[in-house]
Amino acid sequence: MDTSTHPSAFASATGDIDAINRRAWSRGSTVREYERLHGWTDPGERAAIEFAANEARGQPILDIGVGAGRTAQFLEPLAGSYVAIDYTEAMVRAFRKLHPGVRIEQMDARDLSAFFDGQFALVVFSFNGIDAVDHDGRAKVLREVHRVLRPGGRFLFSAHNNEGPGRGERPGLRIPFTWNPVKLGWRSVKALGALPRSLSNHRKYRQLNEEHDGWSMQNAGAHEFGILIMYTTLAEQQR
């Protein structure tokens, strides 16, 4: 492991990551953004769920980091019993508004003590949600998920690639082009309005970036550079 980060600085940073990320995901604009999400994030997510669907159909499913409930649309009908969790109160409220009657609990994936050993056939942690905690927290999530999975059960999750092009993002004007002048104008106004917050957040949070063998913590561009995210290599994740 790279020892360039002083231990005391590392301890301080790990405490800050939770506060920073929870704050970003509790903002009204973020919650509204998640309320508008529908369908698959990408073909990989769809392929993973469809791969596990037959063996999980009619079985207990745990949906971690569910946000406002995008994944509930295709996991809840599949399950024999379905439980969703999220660690932010604002997202839990949004989920209950959009999915009345579907079970959700405010809970941290690092502590699944409310569930018994071997309770679930499938656990899903979508949208790179496992990356929102530090290295030690990730290990806790993996241990807890392993505990609540029945023998032969599956854990599906996505993660940021430490060797991918998204690592090391920097603020800038990114305006998706469209031939529709009204849409292009609106996108330009939104991008310009978000730039000052992005620059401010990046200046503050990049100081908490860490580099290690096989993984790193990085200030990521989502939510106007308002989050810190773990990036990992496939080899490190498998280890």
Per-residue pLDDT at 175 exceeds 80: no
Torsion angles phi and psi, residue 232, rounded to 5: -140, 155
pLDDT band (50, 70, 90) for residue 182: confident
HEC secondary structure over 189-205 = HHHHHHHHHHHHHHHHH
Q: Mean pLDDT for the chain?
A: 90
What is the number of residues in the chain? 239
Name the β-bridge partners of 218.
229
Mean pLDDT of 208-230: 95
Looking at the whole model, is its pTM more than 0.75?
yes
Q: How far is CA 54 from CA 48, 71, 120, in A?
A: 12, 17, 15
Residue type, 103: R
182: Cβ–Cβ under 8 A, 6 or more apart, which residues?
none
Give residue-wise pLDDT tens across range 93-139.
999 999 999 999 999 999 999 999 999 999 999 999 999 999 999 99
Phi-psi region at 94: left, alpha or beta (left = phi > 0; alpha = psi -120 to 50): alpha
